[in-house]
Amino acid sequence: MNPSLHQHSDEELIALYKSGKGNEGVGILFKRYTHMVYAVCMKYLKDEDASKDAVSQIFEKLLTDLKKHEIQFFKGWLHTVVKNHCYMQLRTKPKEISRVDSYVMETDVGLHHGAASAEEKQEEELKLQHMEAALKQLDPHQQQCIQLFYLEQKCYQEVATITGFTLNQVKSYIQNGKRNLKILMLKNE
């Protein structure tokens, strides 16, 4: 591999690849971002093998996508590609994704998963950060129940068993937590 290629920016490596002069550049991008792609996959898929498979699939897809798209900020674009890939993987499990979609929609304050411009993508990421920060401000019982139910895909009974709360308490904590989360997010706008 050409050592001088390591000094090029992501965008320069992509330009070389598009011109047919820098296939090695994709390998460098792979090395630079494999950890980030894997971490994002783990966040959404919560499975090591599925995440490793997703990393391979994503970088294979990049070989064609890099030639098709005009990319201004590779890292942000790649992050969006990874999230979308994970969402598509999760959609193959309708029961699981429906609860996550419900959570996002109910706590969503204008969050768009398919944002087109870099500005919209930054805004989306900011809103996700606000959601995570708002989640941390909830009552600990509400926070725990919401995380188990929506993010870890546990059923009410499993949440009750894990937390030691009654089934009615779990339902109440989730309902009140969703409402409080939405209020906190609206306040932070």
Domain boundaries, the chain: 3-92, 96-187
User: Which residues 6+ apart lie within 8 Å of 25 measured at CB?
Assistant: 5, 8, 12, 13, 14, 16, 17
Neighbouring CB atoms inside 10 A of 76's CB total 14
pLDDT for 18-76, tens place per residue? Answer: 887 767 878 888 889 999 999 999 988 888 888 898 998 888 888 888 888 888 888 88
Residue 45: strand, helix, or coil: helix
Fold of 96-187: Arc Repressor Mutant, subunit A (1.10.10)
Q: Measured between alpha carbons, how far is 65 from 78 in angstroms, rounded to an integer? A: 10
Same topology, domains 3-92 and 96-187? Answer is no
Q: 110 falls in which pLDDT band (50, 70, 90)?
A: very low
Q: Which CATH architecture has domain 3-92?
A: Orthogonal Bundle (1.10)
Q: Looking at per-residue confidence, does 184 or 120 come out higher?
A: 184
Query: Among residues 58, 119, 110, 53, which one has the least CA distance to residue 84?
Result: 58
